[in-house]
Amino acid sequence: MPSRKGVHYMKQEERETLANFRFSLIAPLVTRELVKGERQKILTELACQSHLTPTGECKTFSIRTLERYVAAYEKEGLAGLVPKVRNDAAHCRVTPPDLLEKAVALKLETPDRSVRQIIRILELTNTCPEGFLKPSTLSNHLYEAEPVQKLVEGNKESCRRYEMAYRNQVWQADTQHTLYLPHPKQPNKRRLAYLIIFLDDYSRLVTHGEFFFEENILSLEQVFKKAILKHGIPEKLYVDNGAIYSSRHLQGICARLKTHLIHAKPYRPQGKGKVERFFHYVDRSFKPEAYLLIEQGKLTTLDDLNQFFWAWLEKAYQTRVHGTTKEKPRIRFARCDKELRYLDPVLLDKYFLWEETRNVSIPKI
């Protein structure tokens, strides 16, 4: 996790984590072609939201900052979002507390005031010398102030929610602790099988689902890759805050795919309603039949379970009329004329490769 002492003192791994976070902020602006007027609307909505940073802080980002991130990304790609090392990073700059208090008061007085406007007012009133306050410095201090955070918290709920208008606009992913299979190595014992699925929000199509004995990042990425190979790359991926969905590696994969990774807000599961309803259907329709076959000794291995699940999925869900859309998920997905985005399989494999940073000790001779 990046430290709170400033980007200029971060390790390279922390810089990359921050770059992935910055990409997640601007993903709605760079992962698809925008129609006229949409860019400013999205910028405004992002600026009025509070975002959880890699340090665990809730912060807002001005439109100017977001535009700077977009410009850097368009110029250099993900590398443009990695914080640069400043030449004077070793020198500490201290902003007087009374000056910060006056800046906060100006912001609370007129919430629409930008950081540059606040600096200009402070300079014109001789509260601080011209050029003393830098916009980036004041912005960090200003939006960490509790009164400003409360102001943002009160306004952020007014932001409009998007409705999914086409396929691959948003995928949801989640894991279900579904059922128990005979243990492959310990007779007379059973082992829990986890079902991981990716679901297209627009069509309700399950782009891929699979059972595993381990609920880990490797299992998740295997399902994600298969879903992409079959149905293309999603613009956004909506997940919960579980360990496997919050990994730095998944963030990096999504950044390379130009997929906006979105985590559900704690205690607000409404956004996951579609995948939760699918799991309820699995409980009602799939599990009873699977357990019957398990008891009869006809379904004993993980491969058996997956083969049965895929057959059931195609017959009982993908090609069955959905109660909400009134269409079959597979037909609704295919009928949409939104172009699908694919990657060469070799490049896709490269994007999913694990990356580790290790220290190498050179033995003394």
Q: How high is the pLDDT of residue 312?
A: 97
Look at residue 5 in the predicted model and tell me its pLDDT: 45
**Where do the domains of the chain lie, and which CATH numbers do they carry?**
7-81 (no CATH), 97-156 (no CATH), 170-351 (3.30.420.10)
CA nearest to 57, candidates 140, 136, 120, 138: 140
Task: Supply the pLDDT for residue 361.
Answer: 52
Please, what is the end-to-end C-alpha distance for the chain in angstroms?
A: 36
Contact (Cβ atoms closer than 8 angstroms) between residue 218 and residue 212: no
| Start-end of H helices in the chain | 12-30, 38-47, 63-76, 97-109, 115-124, 135-142, 146-156, 217-231, 248-257, 273-281, 287-295, 302-313, 329-335, 345-351
Residue 214: the pLDDT is 93
Amino acid 329: pLDDT: 96
pLDDT at 144: 64
**Cβ 206 vs Cβ 198: under 8 Å:** yes
Q: pTM, whole model, 2 decimals?
A: 0.62
Please give the Cα distance from 115 to 62 (Å, whole number): 9
Q: What are phi and psi of 239, to 5 degrees?
A: -135, 170
Closest CA to 275 of 237, 248, 312: 237
**Cα 287-283-311 angle, rounded to 5 deg:** 50
From first to last of its 365 residues, the chain has per-residue pLDDT tens of 454 445 544 677 777 888 888 888 888 888 778 888 888 888 888 888 877 777 767 778 888 889 899 998 888 888 888 887 655 444 445 678 888 888 888 878 777 677 788 888 888 888 888 888 877 677 767 656 666 666 655 554 443 344 588 999 999 999 999 899 998 888 788 999 999 999 999 999 999 999 999 999 999 999 999 999 999 999 999 998 888 998 888 999 999 999 999 888 764 555 568 898 999 999 989 999 999 999 899 999 999 999 999 999 999 999 999 988 999 999 999 999 999 999 999 999 999 986 544 455 555 55
Contact 229, 348 (CB under 8 A): yes
pLDDT of residue 160: 39
What's the token pair of residue 197? Answer: 């699925």
